[in-house]
Amino acid sequence: MTTTVEQLPLAEALVRLSHRVQQVFAEVSRRHDLTPQQAQLLCRLAAGPVGMSDLTRWLALEKSSLTGLVDRAQRRGLVVRIPHETDRRAFQIALTDAGAARAEATHRAVIAQLDALLTTVSPAHREQLSTLITDSILDTPR
């Protein structure tokens, strides 16, 4: 017996997809002894040190919430605060070696779990979907 899944409007499908990605992120984060917010912080820092104001925007957190998140990650030895070169009141947040290793392991695990969800999607459709998302959604100015 074959079950038919109702076709969803695109916006609703994207919302459900977003929830599923968040669920995968949360599952993987727990396995790596991180909260989802800590994992997001570490992944954002993987490309290099970032200022607190940029992190506030990227992670959609209030300044006080971000400060608490960074404080907890710093106590765990995952991040350090680096004084800003020109503004003595400002800091950039950077990964420690332990934080970089945890960020890389978490990122790899999230990608692997999402890839596992996509096994029934053809390579051509994967490429098409990736292009559509990258060009139409991710590159859209906010």
Domain ranges of the chain: 14-118
Question: How big is the CA angle at 59 (ends 54 and 63), to the nearest 5 degrees?
Answer: 65
93 forms beta bridges with 50, 81
Using one digit for the tens of pLDDT, what is the confidence trace for 55-106? Answer: 999 999 999 999 999 999 999 999 999 998 888 888 899 999 999 999 999 9
- 14-118: CATH class: mainly alpha
Q: Is 6 left (phi over 0), alpha (psi -120 to 50) or beta?
A: beta
Query: How many Cβ atoms are within 10 Å of 99's Cβ, its own excluded?
Result: 23
Q: Is the dihedral of CA 25, 28, 34, 40 positive or negative?
A: negative
Residue 87 has which token pair? 């503004």
Please, are residues 117 and 20 in contact by the beta-carbon 8 Å criterion? yes
Give me the pLDDT at residue 104, please.
96
pTM: 0.80
**What is the reported pLDDT for 1?**
52
> What mean pLDDT comes out for the span 30-52?
94
The mean predicted confidence, pLDDT, of the chain is 90
